[in-house]
Amino acid sequence: MAQKYETQSYDLVQTLDGGEIRFYPPVMKIITADENGFRQLFGFISGNNTANKKIAMTTPVYRTTEDGKKTMAFVLPKKFTTKNTPQPNAQAVDVIESPSGYFLAYTYSGYSSSTKEKEALLVLQKIAAENKLNIIGAPKWLFYNSPYQFWRRKNELLLEIEAPK
């Protein structure tokens, strides 16, 4: 999936042992906390929006849990801005512009699972502690591949950090 679709860009700031510090510029996203999150978001890019316009799938798909609330988000193609992004027809979907920020990133392969996600989080927390990086946000899980792709799967965990000095 990552090779076929536009992928969210970032700037590599620093490579650390086991992770990376990245700067992500603002990007337009659609987000939902609905239990049928993927279906709601896929509906938006399939034309269930105020422009009745189909929008290309991109990578990654974001998943977060913050304050007990699970969300899923799709990154919209680069051509979309706050001025030209159609609004959702579904009440469960919101359009947002994500703020820019610095993130500590860890990449892992295979199908993601709660065990792999816990291991990835422990790795990033250790890297942050060893490098005296202050984590300021909830974990963001990024998925790059279709559920039907069995080999060469790419997943990432991002933790927002204070800007490096």
Whichever domain contains 60, its CATH number is 3.20.80.10
Question: Pairing relation of β-strands 6-7 and 58-59?
Answer: parallel
Q: Where a domain ends, among 98, 117, 145?
A: 98
Considering the domain architecture, whether residues 84 and 110 belong to the same structural domain is answered as no
Query: What is the value of pTM for the model shown?
Result: 0.92
**Confidence class for position 2, pLDDT limits 50, 70, 90:** very low
pLDDT tens track for 54-79? 999 999 999 998 778 899 999 999 99
Q: In a 10 Å sphere around its CB, with 0-12 CB exposed, 13-18 middle and 19+ buried, how is residue 129 labelled?
A: exposed
Considering the domain architecture, whether residues 130 and 82 belong to the same structural domain is answered as no
- State how many domains the chain has: 2
In a domain, 39, yes or no: yes
In a domain, 147, yes or no: yes
